[in-house]
Amino acid sequence: MDLRPIRNTRQRKFLGALFALALLLPLFCTVTVPLAEKFLLPEAFPMLLEARDPEGLSVADSILRKPLGVHVLWKAVFPFFRRTPDGVVAGWGVLCALGVSTLTGVLLFLATRSHLEGPGFFAFFLAALSSPSLLFTGTTSPGGALLLAFCSIAAFSLLSYAVLERTFFLFVAGLALGAAPFVHPAALYYVIGMAMILWMLFPGDRDRKLALYIVLFSPFALLGGGWAFLHWIYERGGPLFPNVRALYAIWGSSRLSLLLLACIFFVIGRQSYPENDASCRLMLTRDGAFTICDRGRMVRFESFWIAHLLILAALFVLGRDSDEKIPVLVLAMGTMLCLAAVAAAPRGWRRNVPVLTLLVVLSAVGWYELPRTWSLLEMWEQALQGEPEIAALYPEDAETAAFLRSVTRSREPVSLPEDGADVLAFLSDVSRAPRGSASRIAVLPSSATREISERIFFGNGFWKVILREEATQHEHVRPVSVPVVRP
Amino acid sequence: MKLGAILLRQGAIDQKTLDRAVEIQKTWTSPIGTILMALGLVNSRQIALALAEQFSLSYRDPGAEPPDPAVLRHVLSRVSESFLRAHSTLPLGEEGGKIAFATSNPTDPVFGGELPERLGREIVLYVASERDMSRSFMSVFRQTYIDETVMGLFYRTPEQSAIQTFTNAQLAAIFIFVTALLFGIYEWPRVVGTGIVLLVNILYLVSILFKFTASMAGAHTEIRQQVSDEEVAELKDEDLPVYTVLLPMYREPVVVKMLIESVKKLDYPTSKLDVKILLEEDDVETYESLRRIQPPAHFEIVRVPYSFPKTKPKACNYGLLFARGEFLTIFDAEDVPDRDQLKKALVAFAKGPENLACVQAALNYFNARQNFLTKMFTLEYSYWFDYMLPGIETLRFPIPLGGTSNHFRVETLRALGGWDPFNVTEDADLGIRASARGYRIATINSTTYEESNSRAGNWIRQRSRWIKGFMMTYLVHMRHPVRFVRQAGWRAFWGLQLLVGGTFLTFLINPILWLVFILWLALRPQWMDAYFPPAVVVISNMNLILGNAVAIYMNMLAVFRRQYFWLTPYALLNPAYWILHSTAAYKALWQLLTNPFYWEKTTHGLASHTEHPTA
């Protein structure tokens, strides 16, 4: 691996721009927008509903984007336009996918540019974009996209540190591992898995390993402490770490112990084999997909990749039944890591293309093998194939959105009556809201439970999510009746 | 007859010594007399006597017979003092219509033509020893040198001297600002209060982002060695220039021996080292200690005339006057530099751009394990010198020099006006001044180990001097901000704001914010909400949580380059260390107003001697 500083200014600027673009796009949606929504642009709320105007609302409009972010941005730049063009809205999701792929590609390029030529980089990029799981995650879940980005950054940075012992990579890995659980709860399990196996992947005495762990995991601890503090402040003494419940809701505590057991099994198994034992290498060929380093260090990096695969497998097995997005996410993470590893193999890009193609095929097969109980997958595939009118799919949403749009002109908190099934009311903590009256209503197309609602709004600590029946009892809420069209 | 043969005949050396010196001369290429002196085999007077015999001249000690005042006046009306100093010659008096001159270098061609021509008189030449000549110069031109070392910078560029702490314009600006602020608080308390909170938060945010960027840039250069061992090995002794090493000391008899041992271990031809131990005239104890130890002949003890202010930069300016080297560096009393540091600096100069004025070596501590304070100090220094400074260099911001182990081209240093004797962090000031005049400063991968402060009181004294110096430096360079930007550019301007201004400002503001935070946590007063509207709350919390977390996290970087892994957990204790910084900052502010030029002396020799690398 060649990680010497890039001296060519143009190259550096280009990569810097790509990196910034890749990182900022998903980050914008999950971090900047909620802040803007809360503090800077409360008047943006009616726009949210404006976007759900039934006329012209398409599947792409509904799924392939996160409407608020794009609209806030659009309105801020072009305030004189009343509506945001659909093309701009639909492009957001694709940009997310491009961003994540680019980000990982840039890291890969940085790590392997001595032997990875431009066409090899392009091949990786194409392969990443051809993978349905990566595209799906990028286009439907900014949190998932960020998780992919952060985990990829962490993996490559750790690998780079192991090879070059440059502290820079260790710190980048620490920051990525620290940030990942805050963009997607699944990352916490990835972090735990890494914590359990990393100690045996790096040489050194106790002091060195302790230093390594402090650097790698203190960002998570510090950010976690900060998050707890903020939550405590804004919830006025409410429970710390509200998302712990969400985390348990994904897998439950018993499954966590299964993950721990899997990791312990790996550690014991790994220690049973001396470093040069051939049986350890049977899992991967010397010239195979995961070998990216010289022979002297090969065993350590085999362990590195095995550890990653083990963590992903554990995530897949443990999470597939409890959250429909988890299998896709795991598939995406695995695909990303495998593609990157293959593209980085020092064999020339022509020799990598067949393996990359094979991996894309395998990824596609994995995609079609995913359980089809989840409607979003089908909707997404439909959206890729064409754009049926939203009214045909979700007439009740369209009707409700049209009504809510008129209702919320007054910016009053709104609740929905009992017969407005499948609809939740979301309102800010009125006592602390800016200007004292900001409110927001969102419409969910599927039946929602408290569990889902809390998970969906993970990370948005400034909003209280109140179920319809609770909302109607709130002193500031004015119940309204919603004409619901049922199919 | 050759000098060596004369010394042999005079019985000053034996044949074996001469053979050894001749052998060394093949690589060092210095005059045989210089080599013999550097090896401590003959003294300055013996060389002078031999030179006198070689050139059929007489030997005289100019120290024993001061120059005739009338003759001196006449000579100085035709040639300058610096001319005499450069050619190491002094008039003694008149002899038969000719002017008698003493010199330690009778081969200098100036005596054959230029000097008699400029004087309009013939001259008679006598030989004197180098030491005697130096002492005589210091005695004859004592007041001139005091003026030069103390007021030289002020005379040449008064706006860059800290002799005046606040200019009238600055006082007026501060007055107007404070008045406007008080009026604003009285009239629009919420708006102004919120504005202040917002401004402070923005300052913190920018500061932490800058540190993060610089640290990451510095970490990127971690494996890139500015100077490789191969490049050092390629240097040939015969090509090396004379290197002046200044060793300013004040009341430090305990560490004298260790300092001399450290300098003796430098990998550099001794005959090309011009080592000057700078001692204040009233420092009898260190002088006595030196006399007992008897340093080698290439160590010259220079007594700095008693004058105000009694600061290290003044002593260094005095040493600079007599520096013979093409390059110059400074080591503090307790310093232990890496053996090849001088050579690495030379390679860096050779590789660097023409406007490279100074090369800064890293500083670190040999007594890091002594106690909590030394551990925190080591973390801080490791972070600053191993990551921040290389990062600042990469980003091309001005580098505030460290107090020691900075290597200069002597010519450039003189052009810059030397050190400001009124600034108590003359090093940082010089770094900014050099940047402002378009010079570059670089870092090298060589370390000087020092003694870390192990006592809180001593630490606060030292730190308060540093922070006071930063305040002075900021005030000096902000006298004409527009002119500074025009001369140095925006990058240097922002570097000054962030590295110098931002440093002391954050130390001063920290306790206020801590108090506000504690007050809010404890009492949650309603009135406070008015000053923290939602947008400000977001930035404040981001600073509080992310800012502190990033600062602590960046500090963890410190341990990796030097593999001080055992120090990592201490990075988490930084908030306690920051309290000490703020205490020192308030002391510094008080002293800036009441006693700006007072040099808070740091006591050295508190570390266990077994921890010293030379022990």
Rounded CA separation A475/A473 (Å) = 6
Residue B42: pLDDT band (50, 70, 90) is confident
Minimal C-alpha gap between A165 and chain B (Å): 9
Size of interface A-B (CB pairs under 8 A): 82
Contact status, residue B342 vs residue B268, Cβ threshold 8 Å: yes
pLDDT recorded at residue A422: 42
Rounded CA separation A319/A262 (Å) = 14
Helices H / strands E in chain B, number of each: 28, 12
Which of A168, A208, A232 to mutate to probe the B interface, most B CBs <10 Å? A168
Checking if the pLDDT of B267 tops 90, the result is yes
B545 touches chain A (CB under 8 A): yes
Rounded CA separation A125/A116 (Å) = 13
Chain B residues whose CB is inside 8 A of the A207 CB are 565-566, 568
Tokens of B370: 């002594």
Structure confidence by residue, pLDDT tens digits, A204-244: 778 888 899 999 999 888 888 877 776 666 655 444 444 44
B169 touches chain A (CB under 8 A): no
Of A27 and B560, the one with more pLDDT: B560
| Direct distance between the N- and C-terminal alpha carbons of chain B, in angstroms, rounded to an integer | 45
Helix (H, G, I), strand (E, B) or coil at B147: helix
A41: nearest CA partner in chain B: B535
Checking if the pLDDT of B171 tops 90, the result is yes
| The one-letter amino acid at A466 | I
DSSP B43: -
Rounded CA separation B599/A402 (Å) = 75
- Cβ atoms < 10 Å from Cβ of B257: 16
Going by C-alpha positions, the residue among A44, A61, A72, A57 that lies closest to residue A139 is A61
Rounded CA separation B472/B475 (Å) = 5
Q: What's the alpha-carbon Rg for chain A, to the nearest Å? A: 24
B534 touches chain A (CB under 8 A): yes
DSSP B306: P
Residue B91 phi, psi dihedral angles, 5° rounding: -75, 145
| Length of chain B measured in residues | 615
Checking if the pLDDT of B581 tops 90, the result is yes
Checking if the pLDDT of B113 tops 60, the result is yes
Helix (H, G, I), strand (E, B) or coil at B100: strand
B560 touches chain A (CB under 8 A): yes
Chain A residues whose CB is inside 8 A of the B559 CB are 211
For the range A298-301, what are the long-range contacts, defined as Cβ-Cβ under 8 Å and sequence gap of 24 or more?
Answer: A299/A275, A300/A162, A300/A201, A301/A159, A301/A162
Which of B223, B539, B561 to mutate to probe the A interface, most A CBs <10 Å? B223
Rounded CA separation B234/B350 (Å) = 12
Contact status, residue B30 vs residue B274, Cβ threshold 8 Å: no
- Cβ atoms < 10 Å from Cβ of B179: 10
Minimal C-alpha gap between A211 and chain B (Å): 5
With CB atoms and an 8 Å threshold, state whether A230 touches B541: yes
A434: nearest CA partner in chain B: B534
Helices H / strands E in chain A, number of each: 23, 5
Q: Average pLDDT of B522-544?
A: 73
With CB atoms and an 8 Å threshold, state whether A167 touches B224: no
Tokens of A71: 């609209």
With CB atoms and an 8 Å threshold, state whether A171 touches B553: yes
Rounded CA separation B500/B431 (Å) = 11
Contact status, residue A5 vs residue B224, Cβ threshold 8 Å: yes
What share of chain A has pLDDT > 70, as a percent?
27
Contact status, residue B473 vs residue B432, Cβ threshold 8 Å: yes
Q: Which of A320-334, B462-476, B583-597 has the lowest mean pLDDT?
A: A320-334
Structure confidence by residue, pLDDT tens digits, A95-147: 555 555 566 566 555 555 554 555 666 676 677 767 778 777 766 666 677 77
Among A168, A214, A226, select the one facing B568 at the smallest CB separation: A214
Please report where in the chains the tokens 């890729």 appear, as a residue.
Answer: A384
Checking if the pLDDT of A416 tops 60, the result is no
Of A393 and B362, the one with more pLDDT: B362
Q: Average pLDDT of A292-319?
A: 61
pTM: 0.74
B262, burial (CB in 10 Å: exposed 0-12, middle 13-18, buried 19+): buried
Going by C-alpha positions, the residue among B310, B308, B314, B342 that lies closest to residue B328 is B342
Of B574 and A76, the one with more pLDDT: B574
For the range A268-272, what are the long-range contacts, defined as Cβ-Cβ under 8 Å and sequence gap of 24 or more?
Answer: A270/A197, A270/A200, A270/A303, A270/A306, A271/A200
Q: Quick one: chain B helix, strand, coil %, rounded to 5?
A: 60, 10, 30
Minimal C-alpha gap between B380 and chain A (Å): 16
Chain A residues whose CB is inside 8 A of the B541 CB are 226, 230, 233
With CB atoms and an 8 Å threshold, state whether A174 touches B552: no
